[in-house]
Each structure stands twice: as structure tokens, then as C-alpha cells.
């Protein structure tokens, strides 16, 4: 049977497409109270007084609580958690679900109203009168670095941590001292506002007899949430059940422990009534963490042929107002990838994290890795210009291991890549994109002096994913492990049930996992039920992020199937009066080697294991096995992308007209899902390059919080994407798989900006800040021509 590798349609989709998905907001319970959040309109201010009398008296209002009152009620043992204190001396100001004394970003909650209806709660929240004393605001990374104003009044500096990774400082200095060519560049990774189709929402329901709480949350991380809420609130883990029902996308923004999650659980527990909240779109721009937010400085040293000798990187990273779950770890996730797919003998990376009075940052598709890929891939184009060779040639000359297939290769003295084979991947991308034809068309337009010029951008990215080895994560001060858990049951009727520790929210796990189980057990994938996203059903798990679900969780499922088959084989051998060593297993049938007529189907064994009438002596009944898989290494997918843009030189308008992606995620379980993941990921990176970016005024107000101003692309804005794949199996897991959930995003922003800069290179333009709006592009052209007319 070959379900693995077959492009099966996602079994999840018909229900979702028919509108039958049950999201948090669809779940109604009797007696529920709605939370209405009173949010700060100031980015930095002291709270002088709060008058909630009118709100409390409004119809349908049950209570209004300020932060101080909630603390007096003793609801929290500790502030909201940060699970990744990257250094021992990292500064981490307390972050309570409701502010006490001082607010640190626009949208921070200062009081919470509980009312009988959603709109009653929202209306009453408007009646709460808060007297603020505004304070000076740190509204950008630059202002934070300058440090003359601090984002937290009780801190003497905005700097939260300094994190160095310089394996050999002398070698790094020597590389730059002896280089024939050096380049130095600064890039801005603007803040991005995640915009999953389903906004975040919570519903906490106490059990009728009290003492136990079920939280329905639109989250990617029910298991992590359970541990963190228990640790922070003091409610026993055993009394908490977290359910992520249908979740309409997350993209990293639902990987957190949010004020609303803590508030709903602790208030429901206190009041004995269900408590709920669903964010509005505009609230999401303030209340849900944002992505990126970095200033990058990168330097490359190369010999006269353009062979890299050294790479030096410094980041100033915007934490926003507080450290959330993995805020400080995000920039470090990229730290190991600043040398890209290139053979760089000397490497150094430092990162300073800074507080600002803006919404906290945290994981967003790629989390640290698109940023790294952007810096090195933009810098490689600059090096090509400096050396005077083509963007393709500079890459080819520098690929790790010269493009030959390698396994377990140490990279820049930082970590070991599982496998890579870059040149064939590049070759396929050049062929599929008709690179030579594109260059010819570019030359024609240039010669003809056409107003619409062509730009071609090439990147070869690498990603670190499959987060992963618990020891390695511990070495980075991460507060959790990286294993994943799976249970596989063969039920009495021969159908299978899988309990998965990962938590899908658009990635098609039910389909992929049924393919793995179908093949491994030799049954029809349609006979496999996948259970997940409910901590009562799946008590062990570490959830979905970092493109880990297949390369860690899927592998755990495969291993659990192997254990089921091993046990079934013993039962089969017993029944057929043969030795287990002589048993063969193929397509769900056990047979005795050399006696094909002596056979039994796995479904029959399943029933026998259930009745337990005739099991081998000492064997436990039932066919149920579980595995916690902790891989020995991360997985490192890679790929080459070619972006083609048309630039209207009169208006600065940039159109992405063609995009080719040749990715390598090792062996594939479901090529159709893989392709969909690549498409979505690419569009997210293209959006950063061309359209998206949170803009703030000097008072820390977001100027484009609504989807009218914040330009999330639709299918109409992107060309159809040409995809193909090379297959370089991972050595980090027995399935040979690498993750793909973020891969498209890792290279695409750089590919698009490389294309724009390539198109503008005749003007001497070497960089355009993201997003490359028509205004920015037009101004760059005008400046290059000698000043804006």
C-alpha cells in the first residue's frame, strides 16, 4: 500500500468548506458571561484612577474588575509566563493580564467588564473612566536603543538582554582583515500584524460541581497552555482541560499564553460561571502579539573570487512592551542561519533585545528564520554586485560542500545540518523559471528603454525546523522539551485510532496521519480516526509550531505503529503456530515465510487482541502502543525561489508577475498538502516584501490597525506559483522527512526584494526597504535620477 506520497485531498476540508467547523465563537453554553476589555489608549502612562461605577450599574453587567482588584482577589501566583529567558540576567518586567499602576502599550487591558452579552460588555467597557498621566513613549527600536526614555519607568534601560554567538572571535577578525571584498548592509524587518481568518477567542467553562475548568481557546498550543496556566494561576493541571476546537489559522500568533486566556480561566473558576471573549479585528492589532520587528546589520568578507571568508551579524530586536511566551527566543531561532546554505569559515552573531511601548512581538510564521534568510540572501546579492558576478554564480561558488550531497555537516561551528543538495535544486529552479529567457527579456526591455522594467530575484534558503531535540532546546534556555507524543490503537473492529500530541490549525494533520497509519498498519486510511487538540483525550503533547508536527509528531505516530505491528506479529505467530521471526507482514496481512497459505489479517488480530481468548502467555490484551519521540537533531529544509517583478518606473508600482519555488522537504507524506503549505508560506513572505507592515506614530499609536489600511493580500494579488521539489531525505528521523509549514515564507521576502533591486540596479539602487510600496520605489528612482521632481 502506498498512501504515503499520494496527493490525497484533505479529509478536513469538506466540513470546513460547508461551514460546519465549530470554532470557539460557535460554542454556546448556558449562563455565560462575556468579557469586555477596557484598553489603554496611551502607549505609556500611569493609571491615576479608574471609575467603574457607571459601567458596573449598566444593564446586564455582572462586575467590573481593575488590575489592582484582581490582584487583591489573589487570582494569579505569577505574571504571564515567558518560557524562553535567553540569558540568566534577562530583564523581564512583570506582565499581568490586567495592568496595575502603569500601562506600556496601546491596547493593554486596564479593566475587564463581565456582562450577560457580548455587546453589553463592549458598551459597558466604554463607560469605565480611566484617568491617565501620559509618560514619554519609546515608539521604535531606534528610540529604544538611544535609551534616553525608558519604556518601563522603573527600568534604567530599555535593553533586555545581550546574546552572543561567536565561536571563534580571532578567526572572524582575521577573515575580515584578510578579505579582498567586504560588504556591510543594514536591513529593517518591519513589524507584521498576524491576520488569521479566525480571530482569537476563549470560553472557560467550570464543571457544574466546581473545581474543574475546561478552556476552549483558539490556540495552537493547548498542552503548553495547560502547563502554563496551571503554573501561573495555581489551578492544578489535573483540574484543567484545554480544547482547541476548529482553529482558523494561527501562523504563530496563537502560540502564546494571553491575558484573555488567563482571565477567562481564573474568573470562571472564581465565579463558577462560564466566561468568554472573542477579539474584534481592530482589537487583534493591539491585543495579539506581532511578528518580526528587527534592525539587522550584516557584514560579509570574501576573497577575490567571491568565496566567503566570514560573516558578522548584529540584531537589535524589538520585544515590544513585555516578554511573552517566546518573545526573546524568536530572534535567536534565526541566529544559526545567518550563514545560509554557504560555506562560511568564520561566523559571529550578537543580538540585543529592547523594550518599546508597542504591542509585544513573538512568533510569526518562520519566527527568526525568514529574517535570517532575508539578511544573508540580500547580502549575497550585494556581494555579487561587489565582486561583479551574477547572483546565481555567487551562490553556486559558495554552497556548502560545493553542492554535493552531504549528510550531517557541521556548519560555521554552530550546528549540524542533517542533509543538503543545493546545486541540483538551484538548477531545477533556473530551468523551471526559464532564468536565461528572463534575463534575455530583461536585457531587451533595458535596451529599449521601456518604462516597465523586469527584475529577477534568486534565493536559496535553508530553514531550521522540527523543533526538536529537547537537549538542544535546553541548551538554549528554552523552558520546555521538543519531543512529541503519539498513541496508536487498533480497535476491535480493525479500524485504527490515533491520538496525536500536535495540534493542527490548517495543516491537514488528520489526512497526513491517516496516510502514515494506513501504510504502516496496512489498512485503508479512511479507517483511521485522528484525535487531537483536547488535553483530556491527548494528555501528552507539545503542539504545533516550528514546522515540527510531521518530523517529530508524525514520526512518533509511525514508531507507535511499528510497535503495534510488532505485538500483532507475536499474536499472529502464536495463532499460526509459527515463530515470530518467520512472520512476514505486507499490506495488512501476516503470513508465514514459505507458507503463504498460512496467513491472517491484521483486523483479525485486532479482534483477537480485544477478546484475549488466546494470546501468548503473559501478553497484555489489546493493541495500543504509545511513543514519545525526541529526535537527535533538527531538520533543515531548503529551496531555491525565483521571483520576477515588473516595475513601473513612472509610478514605482511593483507587480509580482511570476514566482518559481523548488523546495526540498525530504520525503513527502502528502504532496498536495506540501504544495498548499508552500503556496501559503510564499504569499506570506511576498506580503511582507510588498504590502504588509504595522506603522506607528511617535506616540506609539498603530496607524493601520484595520484591514482597510493593513494590506493582507488575497489570491488576486499573486500570480500562480510554479512549484517543484527535490528530495533529500533528512537524517534526523526514520521517515526522512523535513518540515514544510514555514518553508515558503523563509525565502520569499528576500526573493521579491532581490528582484526589485535587480530591476532597479541600472539606477545604482541597491536596497529598498520593506514593504516596497510604490512611494518608496518611486522615491528611490527619483533620488537616483537626481532628486524627486
As measured in angstroms, the least distance from the Cβ of 546 to ligand MCN is 5
Of residues 329 and 508, the one with the C-beta less far from ligand MCN: 508
Contact 715, 523 (CB under 8 A): no
Contact 8, 201 (CB under 8 A): no
Q: Which stretch binds ligand MCN (CB under 6 A): 158-166, 523-531, 639-647, 663-671?
A: 663-671
Is 395 a binding residue for ligand MCN by CB under 6 A? The answer is no
- Secondary structure class of 465 (helix, strand, coil): strand
Q: Which stretch binds ligand MCN (CB under 6 A): 100-108, 250-258, 300-308, 413-421?
A: 250-258
Is 252 a binding residue for ligand MCN by CB under 6 A? The answer is yes
Q: How remote is the C-alpha of 368 from its chain's centroid?
A: 9
As measured in angstroms, the least distance from the Cβ of 367 to ligand MCN is 8
Q: What is the 3-state secondary structure (H, E, C) of 751-783?
A: HHHHHHHHHHHHHCCCCCCCCCCHHHHHHHHHH
Pick the binder of ligand MCN from 189, 264, 544, 633 (CB under 6 A): 544
Task: Identify the bridge partners of residue 427 per DSSP, sorted by sequence position.
Answer: none
Q: Which residues of 211-228 are buried (b: 16+ CB within 10 A; e: fewer)?
A: ebbbbbbbbbbbbbbbbb
As measured in angstroms, the least distance from the Cβ of 107 to ligand MCN is 22
Q: Measured between alpha carbons, how far is 584 from 11 in angstroms, rounded to an integer?
A: 31
As measured in angstroms, the least distance from the Cβ of 76 to ligand MCN is 29
Pick the binder of ligand MCN from 320, 525, 541, 680 (CB under 6 A): 680
Of residues 637 and 693, the one with the C-beta less far from ligand MCN: 637
Pick the binder of ligand MCN from 34, 277, 461, 545 (CB under 6 A): 545
CA distances for 752 relative to 264, 378, 762, 770, angstroms: 42, 10, 17, 10
Q: Measured between alpha carbons, how far is 73 from 61 in angstroms, rounded to an integer?
A: 19
Of 551-580, binders to ligand MCN (CB under 6 A) are 551, 554
* C-alpha cell read off for 163: 546574546
Pick the binder of ligand MCN from 318, 418, 742, 758 (CB under 6 A): 742
Pick the binder of ligand MCN from 222, 250, 320, 469 (CB under 6 A): 250
As measured in angstroms, the least distance from the Cβ of 5 to ligand MCN is 9
As measured in angstroms, the least distance from the Cβ of 631 to ligand MCN is 12
Of residues 34 and 513, the one with the C-beta less far from ligand MCN: 513
Is 679 a binding residue for ligand MCN by CB under 6 A? The answer is no
Sign of CA dihedral 662, 663, 669, 672: negative
Of residues 32 and 218, the one with the C-beta less far from ligand MCN: 218
Is 725 a binding residue for ligand MCN by CB under 6 A? The answer is no
Of 73-112, binders to ligand MCN (CB under 6 A) are none
Is 740 a binding residue for ligand MCN by CB under 6 A? The answer is yes
- Secondary structure class of 695 (helix, strand, coil): coil
CA distances for 257 relative to 244, 347, 373, 407, 656, angstroms: 13, 35, 28, 38, 37
Number of residues that bind ligand MCN (CB under 6 A): 36
Contact 314, 162 (CB under 8 A): no
Is 741 a binding residue for ligand MCN by CB under 6 A? The answer is yes
Backbone angles phi, psi at 352, to 5 degrees: -110, 130
Nearest to 372 by CA among 292, 309, 310, 429: 292
Pick the binder of ligand MCN from 378, 397, 509, 569 (CB under 6 A): 509
Of 511-530, binders to ligand MCN (CB under 6 A) are 512
Pick the binder of ligand MCN from 34, 76, 161, 251 (CB under 6 A): 251
Pick the binder of ligand MCN from 423, 547, 603, 732 (CB under 6 A): 547
Contact 760, 781 (CB under 8 A): yes
Strands 109-115 and 201-206: unpaired
Q: Which stretch binds ligand MCN (CB under 6 A): 12-20, 177-185, 406-414, 664-672?
A: 664-672
Of residues 62 and 738, the one with the C-beta less far from ligand MCN: 738
CA distances for 720 relative to 298, 437, 457, angstroms: 33, 19, 17
Q: Measured between alpha carbons, how far is 280 from 705 in angstroms, rounded to an integer?
A: 11
As measured in angstroms, the least distance from the Cβ of 512 to ligand MCN is 3
Q: Measured between alpha carbons, how far is 488 from 497 in angstroms, rounded to an integer?
A: 6
As measured in angstroms, the least distance from the Cβ of 459 to ligand MCN is 19
Task: Identify the bridge partners of residue 102 per DSSP, sorted by sequence position.
Answer: 46
As measured in angstroms, the least distance from the Cβ of 545 to ligand MCN is 5
Strands 275-278 and 33-39: parallel
Q: Which stretch binds ligand MCN (CB under 6 A): 84-92, 401-409, 439-447, 732-740?
A: 732-740
Q: Measured between alpha carbons, how far is 58 from 642 in angstroms, rounded to an integer?
A: 59
Q: Measured between alpha carbons, how far is 475 from 464 in angstroms, rounded to an integer?
A: 16
Pick the binder of ligand MCN from 70, 138, 284, 737 (CB under 6 A): 737
As measured in angstroms, the least distance from the Cβ of 365 to ligand MCN is 4
Is 368 a binding residue for ligand MCN by CB under 6 A? The answer is no
Of 488-507, binders to ligand MCN (CB under 6 A) are 505-507
Backbone angles phi, psi at 88, to 5 degrees: -65, -30
Residues 324-363 as x/- pattern, contact with ligand MCN by CB under 6 A: ----------------------------------------
Of residues 111 and 673, the one with the C-beta less far from ligand MCN: 673
Residue 134's contacts (CB-CB under 8 Å, 6 or more residues apart) are: 42, 44, 45
* C-alpha cell read off for 188: 529593517
Contact 61, 117 (CB under 8 A): no
Pick the binder of ligand MCN from 32, 296, 677, 726 (CB under 6 A): 677
Contact 478, 83 (CB under 8 A): yes
- Secondary structure class of 15 (helix, strand, coil): helix
Q: Which stretch binds ligand MCN (CB under 6 A): 121-129, 141-149, 229-237, 667-675?
A: 667-675
- The residue ranges that bind ligand MCN (CB under 6 A) are 196, 249-252, 365, 505-509, 512, 544-551, 554, 665-666, 668-670, 673-674, 677, 680, 737-742
Amino acid at each position: 500500500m502506498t498512501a504515503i506520497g499520494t496527493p490525497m485531498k484533505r479529509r478536513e476540508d469538506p466540513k470546513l468548506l460547508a461551514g460546519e467547523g465549530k470554532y470557539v465563537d460557535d460554542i454556546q453554553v448556558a449562563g455565560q458571561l462575556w468579557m469586555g476589555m477596557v484598553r489603554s489608549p496611551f502607549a505609556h502612562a500611569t493609571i491615576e484612577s479608574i471609575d467603574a461605577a457607571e459601567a458596573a450599574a449598566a444593564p446586564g453587567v455582572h462586575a467590573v474588575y481593575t488590575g489592582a482588584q484582581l490582584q487583591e482577589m489573589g487570582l494569579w501566583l505569577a505574571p504571564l509566563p515567558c518560557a524562553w529567558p535567553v540569558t540568566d540576567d534577562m530583564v523581564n518586567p512583570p506582565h499581568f493580564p490586567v495592568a496595575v499602576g502603569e500601562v506600556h502599550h496601546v491596547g493593554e487591558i486596564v479593566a475587564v467588564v463581565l456582562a450577560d452579552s457580548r455587546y453589553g460588555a463592549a458598551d459597558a467597557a466604554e463607560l469605565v473612566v480611566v484617568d491617565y498621566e501620559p509618560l514619554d513613549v519609546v515608539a521604535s527600536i531606534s528610540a529604544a536603543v538611544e535609551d534616553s526614555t525608558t519604556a518601563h519607568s522603573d527600568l534604567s534601560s530599555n535593553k533586555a538582554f545581550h546574546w552572543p554567538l561567536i565561536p571563534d572571535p580571532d578567526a572572524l577578525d582575521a577573515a575580515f582583515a584578510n578579505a579582498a571584498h567586504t560588504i556591510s548592509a543594514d536591513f529593517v524587518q518591519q513589524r507584521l500584524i498576524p491576520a488569521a481568518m479566525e480571530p482569537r477567542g476563549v470560553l472557560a467553562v467550570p464543571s457544574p460541581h466546581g473545581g474543574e475548568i475546561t478552556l476552549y481557546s483558539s490556540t495552537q498550543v493547548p498542552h503548553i497552555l495547560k502547563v502554563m496556566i496551571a503554573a501561573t494561576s495555581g489551578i492544578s493541571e489535573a483540574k484543567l482541560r484545554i480544547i482547541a476546537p476548529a482553529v482558523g489559522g494561527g501562523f504563530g500568533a496563537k502560540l502564546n499564553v494571553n491575558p484573555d486566556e488567563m482571565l477567562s480561566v481564573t474568573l470562571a473558576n472564581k465565579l463558577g460561571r462560564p466566561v468568554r471573549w472573542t477579539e474584534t479585528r481592530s482589537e487583534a492589532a493591539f491585543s495579539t502579539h506581532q511578528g518580526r520587528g528587527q534592525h539587522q546589520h550584516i557584514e560579509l568578507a570574501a576573497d577575490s573570487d567571491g568565496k566567503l571568508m566570514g560573516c558578522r551579524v548584529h540584531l537589535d530586536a524589538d520585544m515590544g512592551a513585555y516578554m511573552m511566551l517566546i518573545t526573546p527566543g524568536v530572534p535567536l531561532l534565526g541566529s544559526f542561519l545567518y550563514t545560509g546554505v554557504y560555506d562560511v569559515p568564520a561566523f559571529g552573531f550578537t543580538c540585543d533585545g529592547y523594550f518599546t511601548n508597542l504591542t509585544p512581538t513573538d512568533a510569526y510564521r518562520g519566527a527568526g528564520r525568514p529574517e535570517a534568510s532575508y539578511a544573508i540572501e540580500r547580502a549575497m546579492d550585494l556581494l555579487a554586485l561587489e565582486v561583479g558576478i551574477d547572483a546565481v554564480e555567487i551562490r553556486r561558488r559558495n554552497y556548502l560542500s560545493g553542492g554535493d550531497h552531504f549528510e550531517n555537516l557541521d556548519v560555521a561551528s554552530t550546528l549540524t545540518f542533517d542533509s543538503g543538495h543545493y546545486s541540483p535544486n538551484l538548477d531545477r529552479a533556473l530551468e523551471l523559471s526559464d532564468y536565461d529567457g528572463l534575463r534575455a527579456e530583461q536585457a531587451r526591455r533595458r535596451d529599449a528603454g521601456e518604462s516597465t522594467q523586469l527584475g529577477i530575484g534568486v534565493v536559496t534558503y535553508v530553514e531550521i525546523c522540527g523543533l526538536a531535540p529537547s537537549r538542544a532546546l535546553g541548551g538554549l534556555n528554552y523552558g520546555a522539551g521538543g519531543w512529541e507524543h503519539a498513541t496508536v490503537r487498533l480497535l476491535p473492529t480493525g479500524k485504527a485510532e490515533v491520538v496525536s500530541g500536535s495540534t493542527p490549525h490548517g495543516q491537514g494533520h488528520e489526512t497526513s496521519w491517516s496516510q502514515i497509519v494506513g501504510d504502516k498498519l496496512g489498512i485503508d486510511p479512511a479507517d483511521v480516526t485522528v484525535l487531537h487538540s483536547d488535553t483530556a483525550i491527548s494528555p501528552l503533547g507539545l503542539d504545533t509550531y516550528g514546522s515540527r508536527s510531521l518530523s517529530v509528531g508524525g514520526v512518533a505516530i509511525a514508531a507507535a505503529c511499528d510497535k503495534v505491528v510488532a505485538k500483532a506479529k507475536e499474536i499472529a505467530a502464536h495463532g499460526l503456530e509459527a515463530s515470530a521471526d518467520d512472520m512476514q507482514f505486507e499490506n495488512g496481512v501476516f503470513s508465514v515465510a514459505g507458507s503463504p497459505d498460512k496467513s491472517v489479517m491484521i483486523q483479525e488480530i485486532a479482534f483477537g487482541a480485544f477478546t484475549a481468548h488466546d494470546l501468548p502467555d503473559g501478553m497484555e490484551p489489546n493493541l495500543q502502543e504509545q511513543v514519545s519521540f525526541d529526535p537527535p537533531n533538527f531538520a533543515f529544509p531548503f529551496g531555491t525561489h525565483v521571483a520576477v517583478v515588473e516595475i513601473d518606473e513612472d509610478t514605482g508600482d511593483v507587480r509580482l508577475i511570476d514566482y518559481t519555488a523548488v523546495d526540498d522537504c525530504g520525503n513527502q507524506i502528502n504532496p498536495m498538502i506540501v504544495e498548499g503549505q508552500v503556496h501559503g508560506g510564499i504569499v506570506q513572505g511576498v506580503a511582507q516584501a510588498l504590502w504588509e507592515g504595522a506603522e506607528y506614530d511617535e506616540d506609539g499609536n498603530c496607524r493601520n490597525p484595520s484591514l482597510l489600511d493593513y494590506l493582507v493580500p488575497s489570491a488576486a494579488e499573486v500570480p500562480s506559483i510554479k512549484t517543484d521539489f527535490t528530495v533529500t531525505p533528512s537524517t534526523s528521523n526514520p521517515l526522512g522527512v523535513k518540515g514544510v509549514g514555514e518553508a515558503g515564507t523563509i525565502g520569499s521576502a528576500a526573493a521579491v526584494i532581490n528582484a526589485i533591486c535587480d530591476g532597479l540596479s541600472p539606477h545604482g539602487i541597491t536596497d529598498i526597504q520593506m514593504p516596497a510600496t510604490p512611494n518608496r520605489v518611486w522615491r528611490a528612482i527619483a533620488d537616483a535620477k537626481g532628486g524627486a521632481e
